Amino acid sequence: MLAESILKTGFDSVSQRFIHTLVFNFSEFKFVESATVPETAQRAFYDLLVKIILTLYNDPAILKLPLDQDDVLDTCSVYKPELKKTIVKIRNEVAMFYAFLLHTGYNGEINETSLTVDTERLPSIKVKGPYLSADLKAKKPFYTLLNAVGFHCAETGRQITISCDNAGMLQAWKLLSQRCLHRQSPEYHFAFALFDDNMSWWLRRVENAAGLPPSFFDFYEKSYLKKGYVKSIDLSGGRIRYELKGKISGFKFQYEPMTRSDAVEFSTLNGIGFKAMLADFDLLDESVKELAFKTAARCNYCGGCTKGADIDTFTVNVSYKGEEYAICPQFPQLSWSTDFNRDVMDAIVKFNGLQEKYGRQWKMPK
């Protein structure tokens, strides 16, 4: 693991904050069997991608990324629209750079120690992602970054030629491109050097970052899958999101420093069935009662649920530990970035199970 792939709270710029997402999510090296690309070559290209990402982290300006002050808050997209635009620009430029590497490797021809690609081939390739749908373009800053890590880039006429001293590394570049191209978010599979798409190393990294014991999630994953939940791991936008989804309920976690600066966020997929559970509060397991009580707000008569109409509120009155409370069932805060442990996870599992029971009659409000 990269020594730098630890959680951080402060960055020199908003670009550096985003790039740290990539650093945190960068893979452990894993050799894949290949008749033409030995382990030494795969390792050399893996190390080269490490060098690229750390060069970019230490000097975002090399890719002409914005150096705006790091001022990211949970509510940035609502209260800071200009900051959101900056974040989108950063994401898109980084995605375009790694898409360039991916497609150059896939479409380029290797001649000894050089990789050559036709520039007219690139614009026919569409790069897609969150807030991004654009034709692939080669840009001068891409060459600057590649030159900084030991390549020599030259553009003559319709051709881009990228040279280095290690012919085997170019073969590994092409191998990684071939293995990543048809995966979801292929440019980030490439960026994270995922020769093998097994993501168990990332679960271990999250466990370590969150102070959880090794293999903490393995037991829960098996339990969810046995119940028919479906597992997915999404790399779109450069962050990795792990999800277990049932018919109604589910569980997810991700590291997203563009909204949270210091932690992995764990959460349920939704709060469907929560109001119906509160109506049966006395019948719930004690751990679910505690989860519901801690995550729901107390009614403050804001009128949000009635929208000013002369109708009953959504409030549910419950008795908890000898006290009476008026609980608001709307928007429970079913997410944890701190104080996440086995007790909380066990309660989430039970809560998800009850969602499958109580949430079956739920319909999207009009």
The side-by-side arrangement of strands in the sheet containing 335-336 is 230-234, 241-245, 250-255, 264-268, 335-336
Q: Is residue 142, in this structure, part of any structural domain at all?
A: yes
Same-domain check for residues 30 and 160: yes
Whole-number Å distance between alpha carbons of 267 and 246: 14
| Domain C-terminal end among 147, 163, 191 | 191
Same-domain check for residues 134 and 89: yes
Sequential pLDDT tens for the chain (366 residues): 465 556 676 789 999 999 999 999 999 999 999 999 999 999 999 999 999 999 999 999 999 999 998 877 645 545 578 888 898 999 999 999 999 999 999 999 999 999 999 988 887 898 988 888 899 989 999 999 999 999 999 998 889 999 999 999 999 999 999 999 999 999 999 999 999 999 999 999 999 989 999 999 999 999 999 999 999 999 999 989 999 999 999 999 998 777 665 678 999 999 999 999 999 999 999 999 999 999 999 988 887 777 766 667 789 999 999 999 999 998 899 999 888 999 999 999 999 999 999 998 765 554
End-to-end CA distance of the chain: 48
Residue 181 CB burial class (10 angstroms; 0-12, 13-18, ≥19): middle
Same-domain check for residues 57 and 141: yes
| Structural domains in the chain (count) | 2
Same-domain check for residues 228 and 328: yes
Whole-number Å distance between alpha carbons of 165 and 167: 6
Residue 291 CB burial class (10 angstroms; 0-12, 13-18, ≥19): buried
Same-domain check for residues 115 and 48: yes
Domain range enclosing 347 = 200-358
Q: Is residue 330, in this structure, part of any structural domain at all?
A: yes
Q: Is residue 9, in this structure, part of any structural domain at all?
A: no
Same-domain check for residues 128 and 238: no
Same-domain check for residues 222 and 243: yes
Going through the chain in order, the beta strands assigned E by DSSP cover 109-111, 114-118, 126-129, 132-135, 152-156, 159-163, 230-234, 241-245, 250-255, 264-268, 297-298, 316-320, 323-328, 335-336
